[in-house]
A and B are shown apart, each in its own frame.
Chain A
Amino acid sequence: MNTISALAGVVIKELYRRKDFYVLFVLTALITVLMGMMRFFNDAKIIGYVKEICLMLVSISALVIAITTAARQIPAERENRTIFPLLAKPVTRGQVLVGKFLGSWLATGIALVVFYLFFGILSGSHENRWPVLILLEAFWLQWMMLSVVIALVVFGSVTFSAPSANITICMIVVLGILTVGEHLNQVAMQQNQPVGSIISMIYFLIPHLEWFDIHKLVLFNQPPVPWVYCLLASLYALGYTAVFLFAAWLAFRHKPLTA
């Protein structure tokens, strides 16, 4: 466990040494503040569109941070040849994978906390209400969703030849699941066989990341999701995370490390 936490610590340090997070946070804050300064029909009370834009930017930023952080971990170690001294120590390949995953996930979590704090302060100061519970749930669910995404990217980083290919493919897959994932079964019903069955199979196989997006509940001041469903969704996410990490380990355990 110490080995894994040491490896994760290095990844977290990398987050605040690199400029990605700062740039994305400043951009998010700047765009949100600028949008908030706009007045529609001389009405200062309109806030919905600012909240929507801010949440969208938070989601995009968190996804970009998660995918880019996770995608460069293993390839960077191989490219710089630091993987050899690392594996020469009493560290297994499995521990390297889990350490890299955990570091990326925790680093993304730290970034997400900052983003949600910004959103909470912005929304609360405008509306004079502080829906802490739903924000906490939105943060938690998004972080759990990112665990699946990061595990998928870690799997991609030991499968694809270059980080750029991994980032692009993972981004497309994740955005695809988020936009059409929940509707695949409806699409499958309208198709002839065997296409319908294949689409239906994909529907039941893919991780349903759209569950974890509760931004509409936040936007329209809806009551929080019962905790039992948050817990079930978290277990679902952890299950898929374990699947992708295991697949990554299977692909990585005997993989030659020299290009």
Chain B
Amino acid sequence: MRTSRAILVLLLLLSATFTLATVLQPQAARSTAHSPSDSPLNLFMGDSRRMFANHFYVKADVYFHSGFYPSIFDQARDSEVKENHIAAAQQGKEDKPEQEEGMNFLGEPKDWIDRMGRHFRITEHTHLGGENAREILPWLKISAVLDPQRIETYTVASYWLRGIGKTDEAEQFLRQGLRANPNSYQILYELGRLLYENRHDPARARNIWMQALRRWRETQQGLKEPDEGSLERITGDLAKLEEREGHYADAIKWFELTRLHSPNPDDVQKRIDSLRLKLAAPEHP
């Protein structure tokens, strides 16, 4: 008798908690920033996932440098090591001397412990090249899973995937990034590069870059410090595309826009002048 009463009380309590849960759950969802479509990972990790995503992104950079990488203590001392080199390489700045200087974080040994310890660690600055660059990819993938809003992860991964001939995977990853960040002009720009350089499809590349330009204007125009570097890259590549396609008038139009944001406006002007000469030539249609 006593057992059956205990079971009844237990069932009653279970029913009460279940009912309470069904009442509270919708209210809790409304009161927090989480949407019902949030992944379990987001709900479980909250904003800490961004911290881990950054950790794995840096890990990819460590792999790019074959393990020769400053610790947080070295970085605090040499605060000039700011930019991740995998991203710098993607933007065509791979061997800039100022970055190489930033990687001279070891300096002279400070004492005998430091001197001895250097025999057991990587002290030579090398980059993963060619096929070995694939080793950075898992960390970028994990970083993207943890923080889908980190745009750089998609563009950097795409650059290295294209480098090892994985164009389909690069496109798939960029489109995944675009679904998570529909307003990203950086991802659209990278997608345009993939279409132009790897798929050799100038028509689609042009459309994508035009879309990137629209997104840039929607998000950056009017800002105090707009991302002029990206605008220069988008318009510059559009200009080069039109030049190769023989549309010199369009190329001049894009180069003129590039010149406004370029750190080397004189070089761009020379390019415009040469295009004007070509345009004026009688054989040009």
Measuring CB to CB, which residues of chain A are less than 8 angstroms from any residue of chain B? 38, 40-43, 45-49, 141, 180, 182-183, 185-187, 203-204, 208, 210-214, 216-217, 219-220, 222, 225-226, 229, 232-233
Q: What are 23 A-to-B residue pairs whose CB atoms are below 8 Å?
A: A40-B137, A41-B137, A41-B161, A42-B166, A43-B169, A45-B134, A47-B135, A49-B138, A49-B139, A182-B113, A182-B117, A185-B111, A185-B113, A185-B114, A204-B111, A208-B117, A212-B120, A214-B121, A216-B121, A220-B122, A225-B119, A225-B120, A232-B116
CB atoms of A203 and B113 under 8 A apart: yes
Interface residue? B77 (CB, 8 A): yes
CB atoms of B66 and A220 under 8 A apart: yes
Complex-state Cα separation, A128 to B131, whole angstroms: 15
Residues of A within 8 A of B161 (CB): 41
Looking at chain B's contact residues, the main secondary structure is helix
Interface residue? B189 (CB, 8 A): no
CB atoms of A214 and B137 under 8 A apart: no
* CB contact between B119 and one of A40, A42, A229 (< 8 Å): that residue: A229
Residues of A within 8 A of B73 (CB): 180, 183, 186-187
From known contacts A204-B113, A208-B113, A220-B67, infer whether A229 and B134 are also in contact, taking CB-CB under 8 Å. Answer: no
Residues of B within 8 A of A211 (CB): 116-117, 120
From known contacts A41-B169, A185-B114, A204-B113, infer whether A216 and B134 are also in contact, taking CB-CB under 8 Å. Answer: no
Measuring CB to CB, which residues of chain B are less than 8 angstroms from any residue of chain A? 63, 66-67, 71, 73-74, 77, 110-111, 113-114, 116-117, 119-122, 131, 134-135, 137-139, 141, 161, 164, 166, 169, 173
CB atoms of B138 and A40 under 8 A apart: yes
Residues of A within 8 A of B67 (CB): 216-217, 219-220, 222
Residues of B within 8 A of A226 (CB): 119
From known contacts A42-B166, A186-B77, A220-B67, infer whether A229 and B138 are also in contact, taking CB-CB under 8 Å. Answer: no
Residues of B within 8 A of A48 (CB): 63, 135, 138
A217, closest chain B residue (CB): B122
Residues of A within 8 A of B134 (CB): 41, 43, 45-46
CB atoms of A185 and B166 under 8 A apart: no
Residues of B within 8 A of A210 (CB): 117, 120
Complex-state Cα separation, A118 to B16, whole angstroms: 53
Residue from B71, B110, B121 with most neighbouring chain A CB atoms (10 Å): B121
Residue from B117, B122, B138, B139 with most neighbouring chain A CB atoms (10 Å): B138
A200, closest chain B residue (CB): B111
Complex-state Cα separation, A204 to B110, whole angstroms: 12
Complex-state Cα separation, A213 to B121, whole angstroms: 8
Residues of A within 8 A of B169 (CB): 41-43
CB atoms of A41 and B166 under 8 A apart: yes
Residues of B within 8 A of A41 (CB): 134, 137, 141, 161, 166, 169, 173
Residues of B within 8 A of A217 (CB): 67, 120-122
- Min distance, Cβ B187 to any Cβ of chain A, angstroms: 17
Residues of A within 8 A of B113 (CB): 182, 185, 203-204, 208
